[in-house]
Amino acid sequence: MKATFYVAIAMAIGLIVLLGYFLHLDLLANLRVVLLEWAVILSAVALLVGTANLFYVHWRKFTTTQPNGFYSAVLIISFVITLGVVGWFGPTHAYSMWIFNNIQVPIEGSLMALLTVLLAFAGVGLFRRKPNLMSIIFIGTAVLILFATGPLFGINLPGISELRAWIAQVPAVAGARGILLGVALGTIATGLRVLMGADRPYGG
């Protein structure tokens, strides 16, 4: 009974939102706006659920003296301090921006910078085994684009930019368009399965 109720809710609400894409009726539009507003609010609550769960997991790790409990303590302390400072002074206050500029941005930027080594390592690793045609095309395209994106030792070689532009505008667009269409078809199939009640990710 409960499962049927959940399915009915998901289907009814989904149908109202979906119909709004194709039918332009005032009543439907007003109902749609209200439902979307509620969904936005619930999305924010879902984010809170995520952070609360993160806090709870690490709190348990710290209080039950599990291995690596020290790191959990560090996480909790940084979480609480950030909550306090940003919550009290506001996100755009100088103190909040100080935390953001000097802790979050450097760490995230450094993590991204690590990829230069790790991706190069992965690219070299492709040659370790006997490469097939597709991996040769893959790494060949990547290397060619890397050569053609920046100036080649300070020189803009003629032809290489045009070659890069042609690859970007023709074969890459063809593959990307096929991928986009495939993703769209898959999204439609999966979404319709949910709207018809065939898939019930909400535990119905």
Partner 1 sequence: MGEIFCPMCGKSNPAESEVCQFCQARLVPLVFSPAESEPPEAIPEEMPSSIDAAPTGESDWLLGLRSDEPIPSEESLADVEAGGLEDGNLPSDETHISADDVPDWLARLPGESPQEAEAEPLSDWLKEETGETEQPPSKPVEVSDWLSHPLPDEGQVESSESESELAPGEFPSWLEAIRPVKDEPQTVSARGTPERIESAGPLAGLSGVLPAEPDHVRPRKSPTYPLELRVSANQRIHADLLQGLIESEGRAQPLPQRRGISSQHVLRWTIACVLWGALLWSVITGKQEAPLPAYTEETAEVNRLISQLPGEARVLLAFDYEPGLSAEMDAAATAVVDHLMLRGAYLTLVSTSPTGPILAERFIMKTQSSHHYTSGVNYVNLGYIPGGAMGLLSFVENPQRTLPYTLDTVAAWESEAHAGLPALQGVQHLNDFELLMVIVDDPDLARAWVEQVQPQLNEPDTLTSLVMVTSAQVEPVMRPYFEANPRQVHGFVFGLRGGAAYAQLTGRGELPRVYWGPYGFGLVVAALLILIGGLVLSSVSLLARPPQVKGEANQ
Partner 2 sequence: MSIVDLVGAILGFIFTLLVFSYIIGDNPLFRLAIHIFIGVAAGFATIMAVNNVLVPRLLIPLLDGSRAERILALVPMVLGWLLLTKISPRLSPLGNLPVAFLVGVGAAAAVGGAVTGTLFPQAYASINLFDLQSAGAIDTSLGLKLVNGVIILIGTIATLAYFHFGVSSRAQQPSQVQVWLEGLGQVGQAFIAITLGFIFAGIYSAAMVALIERLYFLVNFVKPLLLPLFPSS
165 binds, among partner 2, partner 1, none (CB under 5 to 8 A by kind): partner 1
- List phi, psi (to 5°) of 160: -70, -35
From the centroid of its chain, how far is CA 45? 19
From the list 115, 73, 16, 22, the residue with the least C-alpha distance to 81 is 73
Which parts of 98-117 interact with partner 1 (CB under 8 A)?
Answer: 100-101, 104-105, 108-109, 111-112, 116-117
**Measured distance CA(50)–CA(104) in Å, rounded:** 19
Cα angle: 44, vertex 31, 48; to 5 degrees: 5
User: From residue 31 to residue 60, what is the string marking binding to partner 2 with x (rule CB under 8 A)?
Assistant: ---xxxxxxxxxxxxxxxx-xxxxxx----
**Measured distance CA(137)–CA(131) in Å, rounded:** 10
Which parts of 157-196 interact with partner 2 (CB under 8 A)?
Answer: 167-185, 187-188, 190-192, 194-195
User: From residue 150 to residue 189, what is the string marking binding to partner 1 with x (rule CB under 8 A)?
Assistant: xxxxxxx----x---x--xx--xx-xxx-xx---------
Residue/partner pairs of 145-151 with CB below 8 Å, 24 or more apart: none
- Contact residues toward partner 1 (CB under 8 A) are 17, 20-21, 29, 32-33, 36-37, 39-40, 43-44, 47, 90-92, 96-97, 100-101, 104-105, 108-109, 111-112, 116-118, 120-121, 123-129, 131, 139, 142-143, 146-147, 149-156, 161, 165, 168-169, 172-173, 175-177, 179-180
